[in-house]
Amino acid sequence: MRILVTGGAGFIGSHLVDKLMENEKNEVIVADNFFTGSKDNLKKWIGHPRFELIRHDVTEPLLVEVDQIYHLACPASPIFYKHNPVKTIKTNVIGTLNMLGLAKRVGARILLTSTSEVYGDPLEHPQTEAYWGNVNPIGVRSCYDEGKRVAETLMFDYHRQHGIEIRIARIFNTYGPRMNIDDGRVVSNFIAQAIRGEALTVQKPGTQTRSFCYVADMVNGLMKLMNGDNTGPINIGNPGEFTMLELAENVKELINPEVTVTMTENTPDDPRQRKPDITKAKEVLDWEPKVVLRDGLVLMEDDFRERLAVPKKTKA
Q: What is the rounded CA–CA span in Å between residue 229 and residue 166? A: 10
Q: What average pLDDT does range 216-228 have in this prediction?
A: 98
- The predicted structure's pLDDT at residue 228: 98
Q: What average pLDDT does range 202-207 have in this prediction?
A: 92
| Type of residue found at 79 | I
To the nearest whole number, what is the mean pLDDT of the chain?
94
**Are 166 and 110 spatial neighbours (Cβ–Cβ below 8 Å)?**
yes
- The predicted structure's pLDDT at residue 98: 98
Q: What is the rounded CA–CA span in Å between residue 93 and residue 111? A: 15
Q: What average pLDDT does range 32-54 have in this prediction?
A: 96
Residues near 111 by Cβ (< 8 Å), separated by ≥ 6? Answer: 68, 69, 70, 71, 166, 167, 168, 169, 222, 225, 226
> In Å, what is the CA distance from 36 to each residue of 75, 96, 194, 261, 294?
6, 18, 23, 28, 26
As a whole number of Å, the CA-based R_g of the chain is: 19
Q: What average pLDDT does range 200-214 have in this prediction?
A: 93
- The predicted structure's pLDDT at residue 222: 98
DSSP state of 120: B
Helix and strand counts by DSSP (H, E) for the chain: 10, 13
The separation between CA 295 and the C-alpha centre of its own chain, rounded to angstroms, equals: 19
Q: What average pLDDT does range 66-89 have in this prediction?
A: 89
Active site (catalytic) residues: 144
Question: Between vectors from CA 183 to CA 68 and to CA 209, what angle results, nearest 5°?
Answer: 90
User: Residue 299: pLDDT above 60?
Assistant: yes
Strands 166-171 and 234-236: parallel
Percent of the chain with pLDDT over 90: 82
**Are 173 and 189 spatial neighbours (Cβ–Cβ below 8 Å)?**
no
Residues near 234 by Cβ (< 8 Å), separated by ≥ 6? Answer: 129, 168, 169, 170, 225, 280, 281, 284, 285
User: Residue 78: pLDDT above 90?
Assistant: no
> Can you point out the beta strands (E) in the chain?
2-6, 27-32, 51-55, 68-71, 109-115, 166-171, 174-175, 200-203, 209-211, 213-214, 234-236, 241-243, 261-264
> Can you point out the beta strands (E) in 154-271?
166-171, 174-175, 200-203, 209-211, 213-214, 234-236, 241-243, 261-264
| Type of residue found at 92 | N
- The predicted structure's pLDDT at residue 192: 95
Percent of the chain with pLDDT over 70: 98
Q: What average pLDDT does range 129-146 have in this prediction?
A: 90
* φ and ψ of 224, to 5 deg: -65, -40
- The predicted structure's pLDDT at residue 79: 79
Q: What is the pLDDT of residues 164-204, one digit of tens each?
A: 999 999 999 999 999 988 778 899 999 999 999 999 999 99
Q: What average pLDDT does range 43-60 have in this prediction?
A: 98
- The predicted structure's pLDDT at residue 305: 95
- The predicted structure's pLDDT at residue 185: 86
Give the model's confidence band at 314: pLDDT under 50 very low, under 70 low, under 90 confident, else very high: low
> Can you point out the beta strands (E) in 204-267?
209-211, 213-214, 234-236, 241-243, 261-264
Give the model's confidence band at 316: pLDDT under 50 very low, under 70 low, under 90 confident, else very high: very low
Q: How many CB atoms lie within 10 A of CB 173?
A: 19
Q: What average pLDDT does range 131-145 have in this prediction?
A: 90
**Are 236 and 281 spatial neighbours (Cβ–Cβ below 8 Å)?**
yes
User: Residue 278: pLDDT above 60?
Assistant: yes
Of 186, 162, 156, 190, residue with least CA distance to 174: 186
DSSP state of 256: -
What domains appear along the chain, each with residue ranges and CATH number? 2-175+213-236 (3.40.50.720)
